[in-house]
Structure 1
């Protein structure tokens, strides 16, 4: 079976300026005697008809071309979501498609299951594919809890036990990569393989390079100042969140970390903007920032890789301005059962080069994981 198939014949570009616009000119020539003056005619007849023609052409173009990208089928975006699973008291959104060996896709910071839009339909031709929204992201609950790497590790592990119910290949991008590596290192019985796409996380040597902050003696004056600092920090983070959730800002950030900006489209922007409209979204963002920025985790890549016992695949965008190829080389040097595939992409290779990522995943899982099982 081919990994991807060409888009249907219906997916052809409808060029603006065709018959609809010719119809507008024809209509205006007929109605010309009814109105006096060229400006009046252009305002009330020509311009509305031309605008309608352009909108119809644009709508027709979007309807035929939107579900595909370079021959790859795209997961339809549903504002109401696909499936929901109850974890503790939280409602967790996920997508599932296909049959066969299970694969679980975990997104990065600020993204959601919809970020795997060009991977889910294609991989589902070979595997049973799950993609979940981490708590606080996507269509999952914006729970007012303390956010840290342990929370998401337990969420992924519980999903593997309760929903997947068999050893699964964990695939993660950015902070999702660190989450799946963390899960596999603690719960090896739940995992058959791990795939990291430009994963976050630091080695112990990198943490040691950072200067430790001096311990401030707790005094009465300090206890008085702390609440004021907390109040200022909260409003600064809220202001940052308000700026960060603007569609133009989201598009700008994505264009900075995507090598190919063709996929920085309305679908992607909307999938990120929609969760920010939740009433708890700003508070959740503040709690995440407080946790990860002010109290960075002491977990290191060294410790997690030392406890890993399954095959590891690195799909690395070498043009990533945040996590460069040097990180992939460090991981490969540390963990011997590692396969590395480099891609001419930025921070999100699964969305920038989905065809190459899908192909690499199918080949690696078939060779390293299926045979191992």
Structure 2
């Protein structure tokens, strides 16, 4: 008689394995673990798939969890290429095709949130649900450091990190600043910023980072917004997760996206910064699992989508307080938005 419980899984099976595939001549790295319904975890700018190490094994107890290194990041190739959110969405479609995955719940953090939203816009037939974490692309507000880095000499300034002792000095100063700032917004996010900075001195990584950043940010802030097409998520379950102390993308963006996405759910981690899945991984996993358990996968309906496109944004479909509604409408009324 076999007394083993059916839900027990081996540690080996739940440990993300780094794998590679070649698509369009470029090597793509990704980490995969678990089995069951598929989750696609998309990291942010300058980051890589290891950022999900705090939660990927836990999620793999119930799901097939795929965490790629975006092109230009991590151990994926870093060619002179198109690093727009639309190009990244295409890359995610191609990777899923290679892995023979037909539908996914797409989980995107920061830039990855913008990619996730773009993926759902371009390939709605592949999406079960959307989970957006401190997502980019809501409106133009973004951390001043990213605006500065997007300037013409920003990439050249990052190349200075390759000089002897420069990066260690920056890391040391950052570590001291992190201790002084403690649990403030900047203090929460500084360790992760330093971790990402550690990978940038490699020349091709610097170039890819700069190309990616300039595709979405200039000196005025973010140059794309998803607000003008959020209404297209009407039939897609959406979970928004934000850190209240996010120093990179303000929590006000979470409320605006929530207001613009009919039926979306919003979870704010009160003591978290830009990386809530690092600050409170257990709560993050709980929110993700509860969201998936409580919602049905989206069903792609071309007729309904066609009608939504013809109708467009309806002001009455925007929820929230009067101030939030005004902020959403103002953001959609400016010229700071994607023409994708």
- Is 1:242 equivalent to 2:160 in the alignment? yes
Partner of 2:81: 145
Q: Structure 1 residues 341 and 250 mapped into 2: Cα distance closer, same or farther (>3 Å)?
A: farther
Q: Which moved more, 1:346-355 or 1:301-310?
A: 301-310
Matches within 5 A, 1:1-373: 82-203=18-139, 233-234=152-153, 236-243=154-161, 246=167, 249=170, 252=174, 255=178, 264=191, 273=198, 275-276=199-200, 278-294=202-218, 299-308=224-233, 309-343=235-269, 344-369=271-296
Distance 1:250 1:157 in 2: 36
Point out where structure 1 has 5 or more consecutive residues left out of the alignment: 4-73, 208-231
Deviation, structure 1 residue 299 = 3.9
Q: Structure 1 residues 191 and 240 mapped into 2: Cα distance closer, same or farther (>3 Å)?
A: same
Partner of 1:53: none
Q: Deviations over 1:80-119 (max 9, x none)?
A: x810122212111100000100001011111110000111
Q: Deviations over 1:285-323 (max 9, x none)?
A: 343344334598764222331222310001111111222
Deviation, structure 1 residue 151 = 1.3
Partner of 2:327: none
Q: Structure 1 residues 186 and 297 mapped into 2: Cα distance closer, same or farther (>3 Å)?
A: farther
Q: Deviations over 1:315-357 (max 9, x none)?
A: 1111112222211111111112211111120001111111110
Distance 2:279 2:259 in 1: 27
For the 8 Å contact 1:311–1:369, the answer to whether it is kept is yes
For the 8 Å contact 1:182–1:304, the answer to whether it is kept is no
Q: Structure 1 residues 248 and 180 mapped into 2: Cα distance closer, same or farther (>3 Å)?
A: farther
Distance 2:156 2:108 in 1: 28
Q: Secondary structure at the match of 1:138?
A: coil
TM-score, normalised to structure 2's length? 0.68
CA RMSD, aligned part only? 3.7
Q: Secondary structure at the match of 1:283?
A: helix
For the 8 Å contact 2:171–2:194, the answer to whether it is kept is yes
For the 8 Å contact 1:185–1:305, the answer to whether it is kept is no
Q: Structure 1 residues 86 and 347 mapped into 2: Cα distance closer, same or farther (>3 Å)?
A: same
Larger Rg: 1
Distance 1:334 1:371 in 2: 18
More helix by share: 1
Distance 2:59 2:186 in 1: 22
Q: Structure 1 residues 104 and 233 mapped into 2: Cα distance closer, same or farther (>3 Å)?
A: same
Q: Secondary structure at the match of 2:54?
A: coil
Partner of 1:215: none
Question: Would you say how many aligned residue pairs link Structure 1 and Structure 2?
Answer: 271
Deviation, structure 1 residue 371 = 9.9
For the 8 Å contact 1:258–1:348, the answer to whether it is kept is no
